[in-house]
Amino acid sequence: MLKEPENYIESDHFFFEADNELEKVCNAPADKPGVFKVLELRNGKINLVFVGYTTQTAAQTKLVGLYDEIVNGIHFDKNPRKLGWTYQLIKDKTDALDIYWYVLDKNENPKTVQTKLLRQHFDEYGVLPKWNK
């Protein structure tokens, strides 16, 4: 399975099910940047489906925190994740998502760390996680 980032200073995880409200179960910090990985739990199997990272605002002046990126970031279906993930769980008949988040050291660039994690996954499995395609 996917390795953790090398230089993180804080981490945790939470579960999300289709009948949850993402904004209530998400325990990621609102004011810290980082990366997160989403594991799909379905039929007794665990699969990495997404690796995300905090981005900068349109004005490029403020880094978005992990909480906002996870909850309000855009899923590939063009909906905010708080809706898109619910729809995806129902559509795919997924039991739950297990979201791991990592606050990065201030010298680490979230996009660079995401790219490194995706490269590790690609090198091991020959494909990107299905929501990163």
Q: What is the pLDDT of residues 16-63, one digit of tens each?
A: 999 999 999 999 999 999 999 999 999 999 999 999 999 765 554 566
- For 1-133, where are the alpha helices, taking DSSP H only? 22-25, 66-72, 81-92, 110-125
Whether 55 maps to a domain, the answer reads yes
Domain containing 102 equals 8-125
Note whether 41 and 98 are within 8 A (CB): yes
Whether 61 maps to a domain, the answer reads yes
Q: What is residue 108's three-state secondary structure?
A: coil
* pLDDT at site 123: 94
Q: Number of structural domains, the chain?
A: 1
Q: Is the pTM of this model over 0.85?
A: yes
Only one residue has tokens 């309000």, namely: 72
Only one residue has tokens 């039929």, namely: 43
Whether 132 maps to a domain, the answer reads no
